[in-house]
């Protein structure tokens, strides 16, 4: 009896034939399922340990309104897919995000020390990082602050990164107002 090459391939033992793409896919899927069951501690108490007691009633993986669970949280040690892949998930509706707070300028690092008149001009002395700074007029004080207004009662500083104004009252620290 003459055999064709196709018949010879069918007659070979299964161990010597190469696996088909379909067989490789099923084998891979089976390997993933077994690995997930081992990783999640199948048959345990949900914490990765096995219990020797009789099996109890299964706990719901996804909390429902009557269980008082937290917004879609799953028991520790199990993933949502492995807990119950056939359950229906009801996501909680998204809330409107809180409006972002606008950045506020920091408290002014300048402290009023005193004022004097030099050559008919008002000179205000401010303390900044342990040093006295004499302010003769409008303009920049440092990289972040600029003098916008200077008079007998106040100095208005502009905080340049946020373009916000800060008012520094020129009240002598030695003189206290009486009530």
Strands 139-140 and 131-135, how do they pair?
unpaired
Burial tier of 84 (Cβ tally within 10 Å: 0-12, 13-18, 19+):
middle
| Distance, CA of 94 to CA of 96 (rounded, Å) | 7
Q: Residue 112 pLDDT > 80, yes or no?
A: yes
Q: Give the integer Cα–Cα distance in Å for 69 and 19.
A: 47
pLDDT above 80 (res 22): yes
Q: What's the rounded mean pLDDT across residues 116-125? A: 92
Determine the 3-state secondary structure of 89 from DSSP.
coil
Q: Where are the domains of the chain?
A: 19-90, 110-169
Per the prediction, the chain carries an average pLDDT of: 75
Length of the chain: 179
In sequence order, which residues have a C-beta less than 8 Å from that of residue 115 and are 6 or more positions away? 122, 123, 124, 125, 152, 170
Is it the case that residue 165 has pLDDT exceeding 80? yes
CATH number of 110-169: 2.30.30
């Amino acid at each position: 009896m003459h055999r064709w090459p196709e018949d010879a391939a069918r007659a070979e033992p299964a161990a010597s034939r190469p696996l088909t793409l379909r067989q490789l896919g099923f084998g891979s899927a089976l390997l993933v399922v077994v690995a997930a069951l081992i990783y999640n501690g199948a048959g345990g108490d949900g914490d990765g340990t096995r219990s020797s007691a009789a099996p109890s009633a299964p706990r719901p993986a996804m909390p429902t309104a009557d269980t008082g669970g937290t917004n879609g949280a799953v028991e520790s040690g199990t993933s949502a897919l492995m807990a119950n892949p056939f359950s229906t998930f009801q996501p909680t509706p998204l809330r409107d995000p809180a409006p972002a707070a606008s950045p506020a300028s920091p408290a002014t690092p300048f402290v009023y020390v005193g004022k004097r008149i030099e050559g008919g001009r008002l000179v205000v002395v401010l303390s900044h990082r342990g040093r006295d700074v004499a302010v003769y007029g409008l303009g920049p004080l440092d990289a972040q602050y600029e003098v916008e207004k200077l008079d007998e009662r106040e100095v208005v500083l502009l905080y340049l990164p946020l373009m916000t104004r800060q008012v520094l009252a020129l009240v002598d620290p030695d003189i206290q107002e009486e009530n």
